[in-house]
Amino acid sequence: MATPTISKDKRVLSMSRGAAPVARIQPGTTIHLQTADCFADQVQGPDDADRGLDWDSVNPATGPIYVEGAKPGDVLAVYIEHIEVADHGVMCTGGGWGVLGDRIDKLSWRFLTVWDREAQWEGGPSFPIQPMIGVIGVAPAGEDVPCGSPGHHGGNMDTRLIAEGATIYLPVAVPGALLAAGDLHAAMGDGEVAVTGVEVAGTLTLEVGLRTDIALTDPVLENDDLVATIASAETLDEAARMATNAMADLLNTRLGIQLADAVMLMSAVGNTQICQMVDPLRTVRFEMPKSVYEPTYGRLI
């Protein structure tokens, strides 16, 4: 059977339990999602930036996808098989946006070419690309959440580990989960201090699975090397506390490690990392390397 492809024209600006699904799939299905960049493809060059853009259309996500059988309390397991990015990208900062936006009076733009696994801006440096997903989430049970915001449902987590070869686990809050994704970056450093990474359009290949044997409050990421708990809150301190608590709970309940031992193991080999510090809520992850705990205790998730 052909892999379903969802056009980037099928987009939402909020994660919502009331959004009409653009497709329905069975668990285990692989899908292609075509995505616009975070500016909804409005800014392709300096002339577009000079004309201005519709800020009410930014951060679109393709979807939502209804996953048959998914119900509140389940967990969506989304394996990122491939991220194909466009051959050009855009960045901006200033005008009050970003960590240092108060020091830059107006928006400053850079346009980059993306070629042969590198990004380069004219007259500036080139650097390797590391494609990632900025926005991926499911519908919340309560009020709609704009795609530009992160939360328990996922959303705009801007976590650079949400990349090829990773699985992102999302707690299901509504029937069908209503998965949506977008805001691809060709590259982004931890923190996303400018309020943008290298923003690109692209196509995602995702395998969408369903787990009924685990319960989560916030997203969890897994790749070949580590498991990371991800949390978003009004402050970095609170997000870090939430992510750390979530990892301790996983180690304690999933692997049976005594809480004190789990916390000491986390302190010995775990890492607290800032994902982004520029969105309406801040996002932090706590990483645990599999090589330390799996040989003794087994799989965490």
- For 210-245, write each residue's pLDDT tens digit: 999 999 999 999 999 999 999 999 999 999 999 999
DSSP codes joined into one string, 207-244: EEEEESS---SS-EEE-SSEEEEEEEESSHHHHHHHHH
Phi/psi at 290 (nearest 5 deg)? Answer: -60, -30
- The residues, ordered by sequence, that sit 6+ positions from 83 with a Cβ below 8 Å of its Cβ are 131, 132, 133, 163, 164, 184, 202, 203, 204, 205
Q: If you average pLDDT over every residue of the chain, what do you get?
A: 96
DSSP secondary structure letter of residue 188: -
Residue-wise pLDDT for 40-79, tens only, equals 999 998 888 888 888 899 999 999 999 999 999 999 999 9
Q: Do domains 5-14+21-211 and 220-291 have the same CATH topology?
A: no
- Which pTM was predicted? 0.97
- Report in angstroms the alpha-carbon separations of 47 from 25, 44, 120: 41, 8, 19
pLDDT score at 270: 98
Residue-wise pLDDT for 159-191, tens only, equals 999 999 999 999 999 999 999 999 999 999 999
The rounded distance, in Å, linking the Cα atoms of 160 and 139 is 22
- Residue 2 scores a pLDDT above 80: no
- pLDDT tier for residue 121 given thresholds of 50, 70 and 90: confident
Of 267, 188, 192, 276, which Cα lies nearest the Cα of 231? 276
| Residue 181 and residue 49 in contact, taking contact as beta carbons nearer than 8 Å | no
CATH topology of domain 5-14+21-211: Jelly Rolls (2.60.120)
Place of tokens 């080999």: 269
CATH topology of domain 220-291: Endonuclease I-creI (3.10.28)
Omega within 30 of 0 (cis) for the link into 131: no
Strand partners, 68: none
pLDDT score at 53: 86
- Residue 1 scores a pLDDT above 70: no
User: What residue segments make up the domains of the chain, in order of their start?
Assistant: 5-14+21-211, 220-291
Instruction: Identify residue 194 by its one-letter amino acid code.
Output: A
The rounded distance, in Å, linking the Cα atoms of 263 and 254 is 14
The percent helix, strand, coil of the chain (3-state, each to 5) is: 15, 40, 45
Helices (H), the chain: 46-51, 236-255, 259-269, 290-297
